[in-house]
Amino acid sequence: MSMFCYQCQEAAKGAACTGIKGVCGVTDKVIHVQDLAIYMLKGLSVFGQKARELDIENIELNKHIYETLFKTITNVSFSQDDFVKNIKKALRLREEIKKAIVEAGGKVDDVTHHSATWTATTDQEIIDEADRINGKIDAPNEDIRSLRALMLYGLKGLAAYQEHADVLNYQDKGLYAFVQKALASMINDNLTLEENIALVLETGKFGVDAMALLDKANTESYGNPEISEVNIGTRKNPGILISGHDLKDMEELLKQTEGTGVDVYTHSEMLPANYYPAFKKYDHFVGNYGNAWWEQNKEFQSFNGPILMTTNCLVPPRDSYKDRVYTTGLVAFDGCPHIEDRENGNPKDFSHLIEHAKKCEAPTEIETGKIIGGFAHNQVIQLADKIVDAVKTGAIKKFFVMAGCDGRHKSRNYYTEFAEKSPKDTVILTAGCAKYRYNKLNLGDIGGIPRVLDAGQCNDSYSLVVIALKLKEVFGLDNVNDLPIAYNIAWYEQKAVIVLLALLYLGVKDIHLGPTLPPFLSPNVTKVLVDNFGIAGIGEVDDDIALFMN
């Protein structure tokens, strides 16, 4: 039975991937067990809520829920076996939490939804059930289905932030409770359309909380990002390329490669690691190699050394370099060596990866020069007086928030053209891999302020929120929409969805989203977003610039 998946921007024909393989490379067999893993979370969450009412907080269950959400983000795990193990764990956790509820005097027999009662004893039974449910989100009608999809994909993005913070030992029990409340709501057909809309906006509220928690975790662990010039050339030593978003993996890799003669380079969303003081002290941390995630096939080939994938976004590797792609954490691809998780407080063991690197040639240089970044909220706020003065004197007319994701579609050339044509009295605020469409352009500066201010990963989108709210305060405005800021955001996967919901929760209006609107939005839900928040797609570059400037 073919898949049904429409959670990313590159869904086939702008609608859904429905064959035996998705545009991202994931197979129908993997999508089916992914869908069953998510389905299980809904029933688990009902029991999680019941347990919480009895003051039972099951940390393993909490962690399983957000790890599973993260694991099902586009381009994380491509392994059927990985998800079968995940579902087995969910079945075990469900029985354990039910037992704890009963022992505390609670009831479990009143929970009758299939997601809370279905069980299996063999791998084949799990696979058969996964094929049966076949992915499409259950709902009373298309609009509720659309809202549930919007909320689910937002929760996946929220869970990614939550997981990264948890790795650094930063937790928020309120996030656990809300995620389970939201998942449990997806099997409650008695909720009205208005109640579902309220839950979607509440997802945005907790998205802001998760972003703030991760920002705190990163900056308290590694220092505030600093304005930095990052080398994009290569040296003559063998190297390891680290991609993804996990800064704890970055820290441990740098410590273990020190003094080995192996250089470490960042790729794609790991670029902002170059801005943190804790990492800049390592002499063998030499810069960034390559561009956005989707160019892996050619860039991983030319790098020559091993690559460490710490989170999304993995492109199915070619056989010519597959043995050099190491996965870790929640990332999985059958045939790629996997580095196991930490145990008993010990760091991950990267020794095999390092020995592999020593036997490889140095990276083939694909470009030279430097790029500048490190404009997270702490750094930009230090420049606030200079920025405010530039706005008041007319030197800066407008800020364009061009955060989000990059992708393969030719239509994304729009963002490069937009940056090239943007008036010289405008500044681009960015976070996420969308920046690779323009961060190597020579756009100049305004009175020493670069015209592209890179706040970091998509995980660092919170910085753009803080900057906007600080500017509102400095200018003495009552409404964030009165700032000279226009939002022209690119999306690809589910972390961009939670950024969108966070902005909606904060009251930001007139956001333009591209290169296409999400296929999981029904016409009526799209109308609600347009009428209440001014959500719009993108058009021709010249027309959009004129619209934003006016």
CA distance 440 to 356: 32
User: Sheet of 452-454: strands edge to edge?
Assistant: 452-454, 426-430, 398-401, 485-490, 512-514
Would you state the pLDDT for residue 137?
84
Q: What is the CATH number of the domain that holds 89?
A: 1.20.1270.20
| Co-location of 24 and 84 in the same domain | yes
pLDDT mean over 274-284: 98
Phi, psi dihedral angles at 339 (to 5 degrees): -95, 125
> Residues 329, 283: one domain?
yes
Give the pLDDT confidence of 181-208 residue by residue, as tens digits: 999 999 999 999 999 999 999 999 999 9
- Would the pLDDT of 1 be above 70? no
Query: Which residue in the block uniquely carries the two structure tokens 């995630």?
Result: 293
Spatial separation of the C-alpha atoms in residues 425 and 430, rounded to whole Å: 17
Same domain, 118 and 6: yes
Structural domain includes residue 64: yes
Q: Could you tell me which residues are beta bridge partners of residue 17?
A: 5
Would you state the pLDDT for residue 134?
73
> Are residues 277 and 400 located together in one domain of the fold?
no
d(CA 217, CA 222): 8
Same domain assignment for residues 345 and 399? no
What is the Cα–Cα distance from 243 to 160, expressed in whole angstroms? 15
pTM: 0.97
Query: Which residue type occupies 494?
Result: Q
Within-domain flag for 175:
no
- Strand pairing report for 285-288 and 445-446: unpaired
Look at residue 493 in the predicted model and tell me its pLDDT: 95
Cis peptide bond upstream of 515, omega within 30:
yes
Q: Which two tokens stand for residue 137?
A: 């989100």
What CATH number should be reported for the domain holding residue 489?
3.40.50.2030
* Structural domain harbouring 24: 1-136
pLDDT for residue 550 is more than 90: no
DSSP of 127-193, one letter per residue? HHHHHHH-SPPP-SSHHHHHHHHHHHHHHHHHHHHHHHHHHTT---HHHHHHHHHHHHHTT-TTS-H
Q: Are 404 and 303 in a shared domain? A: no
Instruction: Give the residue from 136, 155, 186 where a domain finishes.
Output: 136
Cα 397 to chain centroid distance, Å, stands at 31
Q: Do the domain assignments include residue 321?
A: yes
- Tell me, yes or no, whether 286 and 322 share the same domain: yes
Q: For 303-309, what is the mean pLDDT?
A: 98
Q: How many domains does the chain have?
A: 3
Instruction: Evaluate if residue 218 carries a pLDDT over 70.
Output: yes
Tell me if 141 is assigned to some domain.
Answer: no
From 136, 164, 192, the end of a domain falls on 136
pLDDT tens sequence across 494-538: 999 999 999 999 999 999 999 999 999 999 999 999 999 999 999
* C-beta atoms surrounding 240 within 10 Å: 28
Domain assignment of residue 181, yes or no: no
Does the structure show a pLDDT above 90 at 133? Answer: no
pLDDT exceeds 80 at position 482? yes
CB of 20 within 8 A of CB of 28? yes
Per-residue burial over 93-130, b if 16 or more Cβ lie within 10 Å, else e, is: bbeebbebbeeeebebeebebebbebebeeeeebbebb
Residues 537 and 401 in one domain: yes
User: What mean pLDDT value characterizes the chain?
Assistant: 96
pLDDT tens readout for residues 426-456: 999 999 999 999 999 999 999 999 999 999 9
Distance in angstroms (rounded) separating the CA atoms of residues 56 and 46: 13
Q: Closest Cα to residue 488, out of 510, 520, 467?
A: 510
Per-residue pLDDT tens digits for 286-305: 999 999 999 999 999 999 99
Distance CA 495, CA 73 (A): 8
Q: What is the pLDDT of residues 85-99, one digit of tens each?
A: 999 999 999 999 999
441: helix, strand or coil: coil
Percent composition of the chain: helix, strand, coil (DSSP 3-state, to 5):
50, 10, 40
Question: Could you tell me the two tokens for 399?
Answer: 């800020």
Quick check: is 129 in a domain?
yes
Q: What is the pLDDT of residues 17-50, one digit of tens each?
A: 999 999 999 999 999 999 999 999 999 999 999 9
DSSP letter, residue 262: -
49 found inside a domain: yes
Q: Contact, 265 vs 200, CB < 8 A? A: no
* pLDDT tens per residue across span 226-235: 999 999 999 9
Same domain, 420 and 343: no
Whether 331 and 421 share a structural domain: no
Q: Judge if 353 and 380 occupy the same domain.
A: no
Q: Is 475 helix (H, G, I), strand (E, B) or coil?
A: coil
Q: Is residue 167 a part of any domain in this protein?
A: no
The predicted-structure confidence for 324-352, as pLDDT tens digits, reads as follows: 999 999 999 999 999 999 999 999 999 99
Query: Among 70, 103, 136, which residue terminates a domain?
Result: 136
User: Same domain for 335 and 435?
Assistant: no
